[in-house]
Amino acid sequence: MKSLLLPFLISLTFSPGSSVTAAPGSGEVKTLEIGASAPDFTLPGVDGKNHSLAEYANAEILAVVFLCNHCPSAQGAESRVKALIKDYSEKGLQLIAISPNDPQSVRLNELGYSIYGDSLEEMKLHAAEYDFNFPYLYDGETQSVSLAYGATATPHLFLFDKERKLRYTGRIDDSKFGEPDTITKHDAREAIEAMLAGKPVAEAVTRAHGCSTKWAAKRHLVGEYNAKFQAKEATIEKIDGPGVSDLLANRTDKLRLVNLWATWCGPCVAEMPHLVEIGRQFETRGFDMITISTDDPSALEKAGKLLKRFHAAMPDLTEISVKEEGRRTNNYLYVGSTDSLAEALDPEWQGTLPHTVLIAPGGKILHRFSGEVDARELRRVIVKTLGRWYSPE
């Protein structure tokens, strides 16, 4: 399934390798200049060990690339990073990746391309899931190393020679997509070939394109974003069989998650906070998280009160798209029998709660989750469906 991207919502940085860019605090971030020495570091890795610059002293070329879990540009670059290691490690290249981001400075809706956030523990999971074959280090606690290098984006590449003098900084290649066949200029490879041949790099500074580094000074923006959402109202309306059938038809370009629940159902209540988070996480991808209560119609107020406690409101972009459909809410209480609800939504549903279905545009049910959902597995399915990076298609 093609990505349902809203391109204007991707946060991109385009900055020359020697430029001055956004500040992590009151100071400026200045990218290392060509000829500068590699700043030292000691950072924890996903292997549970600390790693320092001296550890890689024997490498003819040291590549330091700033990556992270959540950024679609960084995820799209992972295959290129692995290819560089495959093609040049026997020629003396050592590549290490560093995540520069403060996890608390990443908004929930910036995670719309990823299963995992940018904490060290989630880096371990991400690296294992996607078979990283290189050291992956965490600088999110102090960000001092990222500041010393002047990492403005993920990905941002730095190539150092045997004396650890900077010979190239900028992009890996000229494609902002994950597909290798979209590359027309292999900047990193050209730089490495020149360095191996003992020649100057023809274009030593290029623009690093990707998601901007998430400096800790931006935490207040995340707080403001969360506070704005908490102030939203969670609403609920009654819905009948034809209304549910219309939701299933999904005459939109959105991926739609429909969750059947009840106020008396313990697993339903337990999973609801995770579903609310998921609805917020994927709002920029064209995504609906819809709840349908199977409580008695007389319990409308009770169901609504519980939804308000979970802040099951619609994120801004979801709210806009719902209004465009002519609807007012994404929370409903079904009026009718269990059998009629099953026929309207999913005939394979056996009546047990909770029950969750993932619906593609056009109405095809892509996945069913019977019982309490595993939030990580649900994220995995959504990301697999929508894609991990910005796609040209």
One domain for residues 199 and 316: no
One domain for residues 217 and 236: no
How many structural domains comprise the chain?
Answer: 2
pLDDT, position 17: 37
One domain for residues 190 and 267: no
Q: Which residues, 6+ apart, have CB-to-CB distance to 260 below 8 Å? A: 292, 294, 341, 345, 349, 353, 354, 355, 356
For the cut 70, the answer to whether the pLDDT of residue 32 exceeds it is: yes
pLDDT, position 374: 97
Range of the domain at 282: 232-386
- Give SS3 for 258: strand
Q: Alpha helices of the chain — where are they, by DSSP H?
A: 72-88, 120-129, 144-149, 187-196, 219-230, 241-249, 266-281, 300-309, 316-325, 338-345, 375-386
Q: Which amino acid, 308?
A: K
One domain for residues 269 and 206: no
Instruction: Name the domain boundary from 168, 186, 221.
Output: 221
- What is the average per-residue pLDDT within 9-14? 36
Provide the 10 A C-beta neighbour count for residue 132: 20
One domain for residues 89 and 109: yes
One domain for residues 34 and 134: yes
Please report whether residue 393 resides in a domain: no
C-alpha dihedral sign at 141, 123, 42, 27? negative
Alpha-carbon torsion angle 355, 356, 357, 358, nearest 10:
-170
For the cut 80, the answer to whether the pLDDT of residue 10 exceeds it is: no
The rounded distance, in Å, linking the Cα atoms of 274 and 276 is: 5
Cα 259 versus chain centre, distance? 23
Instruction: Name the domain boundary from 176, 199, 221.
Output: 221
Please report whether residue 226 resides in a domain: no
Burial class (CB within 10 angstroms; exposed 0-12, middle 13-18, buried 19+) of 328? exposed
Asked if residue 155 has a cis previous peptide bond (ω within 30° of 0), the answer is yes
One domain for residues 243 and 186: no
The CA radius of gyration of the chain, in Å to the nearest whole number, is 24
Please report whether residue 1 resides in a domain: no
One domain for residues 124 and 270: no
The CATH number of the domain holding residue 210 is: 3.40.30.10
DSSP string over 110-165: GGTT-SS-SSHHHHHHHHHHTT--S-EEE-TTT-HHHHHHT--EESEEEEE-TT-B
Q: For the range 121-125, what are the long-range contacts, defined as Cβ-Cβ under 8 Å and sequence gap of 24 or more?
A: 122/69, 123/46, 123/69, 123/99, 124/46
pLDDT, position 66: 98
One domain for residues 237 and 136: no
One domain for residues 150 and 251: no
- What is the average per-residue pLDDT within 1-24? 40
Please report whether residue 274 resides in a domain: yes
Please report whether residue 90 resides in a domain: yes
Please report whether residue 76 resides in a domain: yes
One domain for residues 195 and 309: no
Instruction: Name the domain boundary from 193, 221, 249.
Output: 221
Please report whether residue 282 resides in a domain: yes
Burial class (CB within 10 angstroms; exposed 0-12, middle 13-18, buried 19+) of 350? exposed
Q: What is the pLDDT of residues 86-115, one digit of tens each?
A: 999 999 999 999 999 999 999 999 999 999
One domain for residues 186 and 257: no
Please report whether residue 2 resides in a domain: no
Q: Determine contact, residues 173/185, Cβ cutoff 8 Å.
A: yes
pTM: 0.92
Task: Choose between 94 and 17: higher pLDDT.
Answer: 94
Q: What is the pLDDT of residues 192-227, one digit of tens each?
A: 999 999 999 999 999 999 999 999 999 999 999 999
